[in-house]
Amino acid sequence: MACTGAYMLPAIFVETMVEIYPEDVAQSALLMRLSSLTARETVVRLYAVASWIWGSFMLMDGIHTILAVVTVITGLFRPADWPPLFGKPTEACGLRRFWGRFWHRLAVRSYSNYGRLVAQSFGMLQHSHRTPGAGAVIAFTVFLISGLTHQVISWRLGTNDWLDLQWYLLNFAACFAETVIVSAVRSAAKQAGWARELAVIERSWLGWAIGFMWTFSFFFWGVPLWKFPRLHKQVTSFDRWMSIFSKMTIVPPT
């Protein structure tokens, strides 16, 4: 492990990057400067994505496993009462599948119920009728509440930004765009008489690879927008304190 201010780098990154400097995370935007992307920035971005997914997975799944073992051994619950918290990584082939099948769904049911109430208030969800936009309203509500809850926690921890809420709303927008594009492609394939061929591609390794690359590309671009500003503040603060400490001298007692 290599020290990076307030962060620890996984060993896989040590050979490429020993320490993160403020300039490494000073620019979170990417699309307008792809030609200037360096190998070091690529590694930093990969680290940001990996640390978020892997760190969240290890923490939450670890707590879930410990609680499951304790409550099953003590007879409070049965093993069947503790289904896996996360899905299989292979199911993350597409942003909607990442959030809907791989990522944990601890609060999805309760948040979805709020979304259904919102959809009902707009007349989009009735007992025997559901308009096409109802699903989007429910999904938006889930991402909105998720963003707000994470944002409140971040505020309690001392941040003063809106990055968590922005991140979750950005994911909703990307999932919505994915839905629209996939629906348009399927509609075009159906009109052209290629619906069966498209379905075969979607179920093949090629369809999985396309979905996975889309998910990876979105996170490679989007996670730094969320993580870099805070990481930049932490690394800058760490460097400032290290500079102060380096100028201090210990005066021996006389």
Domain shared by 78 and 103, yes or no = no
Task: Please indicate whether residue 56 or residue 18 has the higher confidence score (pLDDT).
Answer: 56
pLDDT for 24 beyond 90: no
Domain shared by 58 and 111, yes or no = no
Task: Please indicate whether residue 56 or residue 29 has the higher confidence score (pLDDT).
Answer: 56
Domain shared by 106 and 205, yes or no = yes
Residue 139 to residue 142: CA distance in whole angstroms: 5
Residue 61 to residue 171: CA distance in whole angstroms: 22
Residue type, 230: R
The pLDDT tens digits for 181-224 are 999 999 999 999 999 999 999 999 999 999 999 999 999 999 99
The pLDDT tens digits for 125-158 are 877 678 888 999 999 999 999 999 999 999 999 9
pLDDT band at 250 (very low <50, low <70, confident <90, very high): low
pLDDT for 12 beyond 70: no
Give residue 207's domain range. Answer: 89-227
Task: Please check whether residue 239 lies inside any domain of the structure.
Answer: no
The conformational region for residue 129 under phi > 0 = left, psi -120 to 50 = alpha, else beta, is beta
**pLDDT score of 244:** 72
The pLDDT tens digits for 226-239 are 999 998 888 888 66
Domain shared by 56 and 101, yes or no = no
Tally of CB atoms within 10 A around 154: 17
Residue 44 to residue 59: CA distance in whole angstroms: 22
Task: Please check whether residue 133 lies inside any domain of the structure.
Answer: yes
Report the predicted TM-score, pTM, of the whole model to 2 decimal places: 0.84
Domain shared by 98 and 129, yes or no = yes
Task: Please indicate whether residue 17 or residue 233 has the higher confidence score (pLDDT).
Answer: 233
Domain shared by 62 and 188, yes or no = no
Is residue 150 classed as helix, strand or coil in its secondary structure?
A: helix
The chain-wide mean pLDDT, for the chain, equals 87
Domain shared by 51 and 144, yes or no = no
Domain shared by 5 and 58, yes or no = yes
Percent residues over pLDDT 70 in the chain: 87
Q: Hunting for tokens 């590309």 — which residue is that?
A: 217
Domain shared by 210 and 170, yes or no = yes
